[in-house]
Structure 1
């Protein structure tokens, strides 16, 4: 597992980004325990910033903590995937309203153009550049509370996208980027109802497609 040394500024945030990268690229696998000592040595920092970053990622649903055991990479279940897409259906209308109310035409056109930066050559590059696009999109939001919730959701989708094993990843990447272009074209043209319908149908499609690819939640009792 190769880990890049981090700079001595914004340690917990930087380490959080590195942990996210490791999870997305398979360096840390679902259900795997974080070795805080090894990570701290690899990053060239004390254990404190590693633990702080882990707590932040736990709050975003990417890590889970167990008493006296430490932090583990989240192992998504089908029920959790359904929950993610339900939250997406709540957040999408709020995003549309924010951009409708506070952004100008040039900003929306720039976001539409920015879709071209998403790398569809292979799975990991796609997942990483899609998330980077989402980060730049969220940075344009007026409501910072909404931005924080949207970014947390996108971080979880970033991991989910990386975990999915499909027979035709190219078709999957094309569908995602095509939907983004349809959505942002509607936003540029101020067809906000159409934009909302695009996102509603998209969330429903992916909920049905993605959830069955993850294990069933076996924690419920009859």
Structure 2
């Protein structure tokens, strides 16, 4: 039964697709919606999807229909789990403080813009991480190492930014999606490519929602809302 669940496939337009790729991406979408709504459950839901997708993107190791190893895509699932634990704890602390102050149904994080120094750090980390991981993934034989490296680096920075409550993390996700869609299509990971397209829409709305929430918070605090 376990092996059947692990190997279960569906054929779509002549292409064999693993059910765990579909289910893992469904958990990813649910996690994105939870993050948009600033709900604590977004983190554990995302972790479940990460575990499933880790096995999907090591196609050569687990002998999936695609039979390609995307080490950046697989590695970022591990990174997601680690950073998600950090985000889960950080959001839980924020939520607990709000409840102690008598705020009912409080969101788990207060959106805010990163400082100029933090933005500069993000740019440097994005460039250095992409170059470094591209060299590593090339040695490992990853499919599309440069694209894979940016997806890994950008995902790491975006997830960390989400944990910190930086509104800019949504923009990083859009840049990840722009590279991820063509890479996944070329590699034959069609459900994941579709997820990236759908996710881009969720991300764009999430950016708008967090920016609006920050504007309301600034007005409540008597401060002017900051521009991006």
TM-score where L is the length of structure 1: 0.28
Q: Which has the higher contact order (CA 8 A, sep 6+)?
A: 1
Structure with greater proportional helix content: 2
TM-score where L is the length of structure 2: 0.27
